[in-house]
Amino acid sequence: MTTLKIPDLGGPSQVEIIEILVSAGDSVEAEQALIVLETDKATMEIPAETAGVIKSLSVKVGDKVSSGDVFGELDSDASGTEENAAEEKNAENAPAAEQKTMEVPVKSAVESTSPQSAEPAAVDIVIPDLGGSEQVEVIEVQVSAGDEIDAEQTVLVLESDKASMEIPAGQAGTIVSLAVAVGAKVSAGDLMLTLQPKAALSTKTEIAKTPPKKTETAESEVAAASEPQRAAPDTVTSSSTPQGEVHAGPAVRKLAREFGVELALVKGNGPKHRITKDDIQHYVKQRLSAASSTVQTGAGIPTVPVVDFAKFGPVSESPLNNIKRATARAMTTAWLNVPQVTQFDQADITDLENYRKQQNDRYARQGIKFSIVPFVLKAIAKTLEDFPVFNASLSADGEKLILKQYVHIGVAVDTPKGLLVPVIRDVNQKSVTQITQELTDKAELARLGKLPLTDMQGGCFSLSSLGGIGGTAFTPIVNPPEVAILGLSKASMQPVWDGSAFVPRLMLPLSLSYDHRVVDGAEAARFGQRLVMYLQDLRDVLM
């Protein structure tokens, strides 16, 4: 029989028990959390030192405990397995110093800044078994030296001719150095990176350090989950805390992560509205029953039926590459979240086209060739300045607009691997020549698969030009959190009535899709008209 004692808490005394995770009769494993304590600075789990069966617990939620206090008894013989017996024996025979290390995690959890925390040695992480494939190309490196990563976080994306795969480090820690770069070919066993592992104690430290209110973790969890939550039809009355406050211990957070539950939406029934494991389980049950009743009533998003196409004729399979999968996810997110409308217009670009041709002749010797796109970008930038609501994003809670003081525009580029959207920054401050050169360079890098991720971030508005290919109009999909996108179709000569006769004019079809939560139809029509005006006479952009 082992007495369960509160280990050295490294200073604080009379610490409140906020959760009891086990009951008498429960079998527990060594290191399994038994109770959760919380000071005003930290939350910490008290684990079992050995496996066994809980005989009794002498504390309850709300009790205050200090280092050395007894909180129960554990029958360590009752766990039965040889492994446990051996572990216990080892524990008994272990020198005092070794046994003491079991207390260290808790101590460190409190003394988070303790300089004595032992750092484990850096380890080399190799490419795992790739299912037989060899010399597989690295198409993405998602981390850099110095990054702190989770065990499951993707480090590399590999792509063979059959599939693309994401490779995690398998261990949490800080990256000391990376041994591979985009374009490298790797096989199982090759060195991927050197990692300074996150010590068991520092993992606990981080969790325990998390203050109960408005933590970074809590806020990022809210932000990260807000998109999918908006996507799902919320048929359950959720008890979300709109302020984004999440009050839960590490064990509960772990359980929530395992279920994919967004903690901000779970009502906490524990002390101080703390979320308990029971709350998570209850929430999951509610969601599941809501989902099944949704299907029965026909509301919500019905699933696409699974069809065995081979029944109807020969088929082959072609896996989607990473870019196509990312596009599929982004398009679904956009489609489900943004109530969008498309406004069509036509701009008379006859004069602009003549001007473009003149400039092409003029700049030919410098090797610069202007297409219509950079002129349109310039006209868009001015229109965005005139209509700031189009250069804005809706805040995560949908309560306010975030108006951007910069004008960065994403341009959809068709590449052999799929759609990429390089962002041209500060379009309002650049000349058409600068925009042409930047777009040419970035489109080229995108097509070669070498466009840095940072060059695809920060866009306020997007342009999708299909004019080089054809079509008379289309409905581009808004790329949230942007609120609008302009589609260009192929310009063509049209007979236009000038008041006394039909005259041939080069007309450019414009398709403006916008987020109707942010932009009203009248505003969109005005935006379209202003853009048409600038394209008809780009001199107005200067005014």
Return the ∠ at Cα 482 (arms to 481 and 483), rounded to 5°: 110
Taken in order 260, 266, 269, 271, is the CA torsion positive or negative? positive
Residue whose structure tokens are 């709109």: 242
Active-site hit among 247, 282, 408, 516: 516
For ligand CAO, the binding residue among 193, 381, 466, 532 (CB under 6 A) is 466
Q: Largest alpha-carbon pair distance within the chain?
A: 105
As a whole number of angstroms, the distance between CA 502 and CA 290 comes to 61
Q: 52 near 74, Cβ under 8 Å?
A: yes
Cβ 154 to ligand CAO shortest distance, Å = 25
Binding-site member from 4, 34, 488, 518 for ligand CAO (CB under 6 A): 488
For residue 539, what are the contacts with CB-CB under 8 A and spacing of at least 6?
none
- The answer to whether 423 touches 449, Cβ cutoff 8 Å, is no
Select the span of 139-147, 315-323, 368-376, 396-404 touching ligand CAO (CB under 6 A).
368-376
Query: Binding ligand CAO by CB under 6 A: which of 465, 511, 513, 536?
Result: 465
Cβ contacts of 541 within 8 Å, gap of 6 or more: 378, 379, 382, 534
Closer Cβ to ligand CAO, 277 or 490, answer by number: 490
Residue nearest to ligand CAO (CB): 467
Using CB under 6 A, which of 153, 286, 342, 371 touches ligand CAO?
Answer: 371
Q: How many CA atoms lie within 13 A of 367 on its CB side?
A: 2
Q: Given the complex with ligand CAO, which of 394 and 446 has the nearer CB atom?
A: 446
SS3 95: coil
Computed on alpha carbons and rounded to an integer, the radius of gyration of the chain in Å comes to 30
Q: Of 43 and 465, which has the nearer Cβ to ligand CAO? A: 465
Task: Provide the minimum distance between the beta carbon of 322 and ligand CAO in the complex, in angstroms, as a whole number.
Answer: 17
Q: Which of 323, 373, 409, 518 binds ligand CAO (CB under 6 A)?
A: 373
Question: Which DSSP letter does residue 22 get?
Answer: -
Question: In this structure, which amino acid lies at residue 403?
Answer: L
Instruction: Pick the binder of ligand CAO from 410, 467, 481, 528 (CB under 6 A).
Output: 467
- Residues 280-339 within binding reach of ligand CAO (CB under 6 A): none
Q: Among this protein's residues, is 516 annotated catalytic?
A: yes
**DSSP line for 361-377:** HHHGGGT----HHHHHH
Smallest distance, ligand CAO to C-beta of residue 477, A: 7
Task: Compare residues 27 and 440 and give the one whose CB is closer to ligand CAO.
Answer: 440
The residue among 137 and 414 lying less far from ligand CAO, judged by its C-beta, is 414
Which 411-430 residues touch ligand CAO, going by CB under 6 A? 411-414, 419
Q: How far is the CB of 451 from ligand CAO (least distance, A)?
A: 12
Choose which of 423, 491, 507, 524 interacts with ligand CAO (CB under 6 A). 491
Considering beta carbons, is residue 9 or 486 the nearer one to ligand CAO? 486
Q: Which of 398, 468, 495, 504 binds ligand CAO (CB under 6 A)?
A: 468
Please report whether residue 443 would count as binding ligand CAO according to CB under 6 A: yes
Would you give the end-to-end CA distance of the chain in angstroms?
Answer: 86
Q: Are 373 and 488 in contact (CB under 8 A)?
A: yes
Rounded to an integer, what distance in angstroms lies between the CA atom of residue 55 and that of residue 26? 8
Strand, helix or coil at 191?
strand
Nearer Cβ to ligand CAO (44/323) = 323
Q: Which residues bind ligand CAO (CB under 6 A)?
A: 371-373, 411-414, 419, 443, 464-468, 476, 488, 490-491, 508
- Residues carrying an active site annotation: 516
